[in-house]
Amino acid sequence: MSQKIRIAVQKSGRLQEQSVKLLKECGISFGNGSSKLKAEADNFPAEILFLRDDDIPEYIEDNVADIGIIGENVFLEKQKESELVLRLGFAKCRLSIAVPKSEEYQSSNWLNGKKIATSYPVIVENYLSKNNIAAEIHEISGSVEIAPGIGLADAVCDIVSTGSTLLTNGLKEVDTVMKSEAILIASKSLNPEKSALLNELVFRVNAVNAAKS
């Protein structure tokens, strides 16, 4: 019985275009799924699933998808059963602590007793315990950067790319919690046939990336 590997990519958002482009550069051709949930590849035993990035780790853990492309930040936050196979070099950003510009921030001790707004409570919790800081985490799902301005929190921990969003909201970046980029993740329980397909894909991605550099 020949199997198809199920590859999860973001349905829409910052990872979508480059994830699809990478698969196509690997010679996997399929119809674009902006309105669909899945697409069959014509020339590779694969099915592409279009999902919200946050859901991808869970779909892999639940064996609905076999492999997927997500940001390393989401991979670390979700703590699901899957493994990091390859860093892909796009969607580079960092998860950083930012505080109001006027604050005199010397070290992470400043955060003691403070309230931090974030969409990444697990990662922030680890950062706080690693640095021996007792702070309150306030989880919000979007527009984190406005939290200090409206009195919801003293600091934020959010994704930063150019830094202009922080700047417009009167915040300054004071510490990098982690660096992130798009990564390929895979289920830890692929059968031999799917493992072979993953190896083939990794081989092609490496060839594509080597040709670019």
Residues that bind ligand PRT (CB under 6 A): 10, 13-15, 52-54, 71, 73-74, 91, 93, 158-165, 180
Q: Can you tell me the distance from the alpha carbon of 146 to that of 152, in angstroms, rounded to the nearest whole number? A: 9
Q: By CB under 5 A, tell whether 53 contacts Zn ion.
A: yes
* The Cα angle at residue 12 between residues 32 and 98, in degrees rounded to 5: 155
What letter would DSSP give residue 28?
Answer: -
By beta carbon distance, the residue nearest ligand PRT is 71
Toward ligand PRT, which CB reaches closer, 11 or 194? 11
Which one of Zn ion, ligand PRT, none interacts with residue 9, CB within 5 to 8 A by kind? Answer: none
Q: By CB under 5 A, tell whether 81 contacts Zn ion.
A: no
Q: Can you tell me the distance from the alpha carbon of 19 to that of 8, in angstroms, rounded to the nearest whole number? A: 10
Toward ligand PRT, which CB reaches closer, 128 or 166? 166
Q: By CB under 5 A, tell whether 54 contacts Zn ion.
A: yes
Q: Can you tell me the distance from the alpha carbon of 173 to that of 100, in angstroms, rounded to the nearest whole number? A: 9
Q: Bridge-partner residues for 93, per DSSP?
A: 180
* CB of residue 49 to ligand PRT, shortest distance in Å: 12
Toward ligand PRT, which CB reaches closer, 91 or 133? 91
Closest residue by Cα to residue 111 from 48, 31, 175: 175
Closest residue by Cα to residue 88 from 68, 114, 102: 68
Would you tell me which residues interact with Zn ion (CB under 5 A)? 53-54
